[in-house]
Structure 1
Amino acid sequence: MEQVVEDLENKMKQTDERMDSLALQVGNIESEIFSESGEEIEVNNLLRSVSEVKTNYQNLRKDLMEVQDLQKQLSTSLHVQLKLMQTKFNMLKEKLPHAPSSQAKSGSSKLGPYNEEK
């Protein structure tokens, strides 16, 4: 489970970096398109930039799907551990009522160091 958490953290960090990079690329394209400097836009460069953004966006989607898969794995692992703990708790809970009653039966006729006779 620790490995799943570590993988999830690493993948989320990587995905966050891709999102930042993608946002920067889109911002650069927007500034190029809406530039008021009177420069002529080179269509080939613009198409290349848009194609790169599209590829990076597809990679980002892939990363996000991997993050979701890791989250599901972690959730499943936590759910299994919770069920296991509930089972152990119930087993211990069942044993507890038997311990005091058997002790009371065996120890009721004997006087212990803290029992006083009346």
Structure 2
Amino acid sequence: MSNPEKVLSFLDITGAWDPSLIFVMVGAIVVGLGGFYLVSKRSKAFFGGALHIPTRTAVSRPLVIGSLIFGAGWGIAGFCPGPAIVALGAGHLKALIFVLAMLAGMALCNRFFTGHKNLV
């Protein structure tokens, strides 16, 4: 997932589609479901602190807008946040530009939407 060409090939469903990232996504879903299952059986966090599990299930406007922005960035650059950090560590200039844009977006979100009732 840290190779943007691989990601863009996965997203190119009308051209030279490469479905191999499906295995990465399915693996992540399985691990995530296992983690959620384990956490759902607990009343405290692993280190004894309070366990805060989100309960909101409604799809809000900020969620949809954020998802669209995330998807557009993924489709344009071929990176999502974690793999971009890996590629940055490998010295890829494209990853540096992506990470800087990502940090700017996070700063803007914190500046304009912190405490916004629809984001909680």
Higher relative contact order (CA closer than 8 Å, sequence separation 6+) = 1
TM superposition score normalised by structure 1: 0.29
TM superposition score normalised by structure 2: 0.29
Pair member with larger Rg = 1
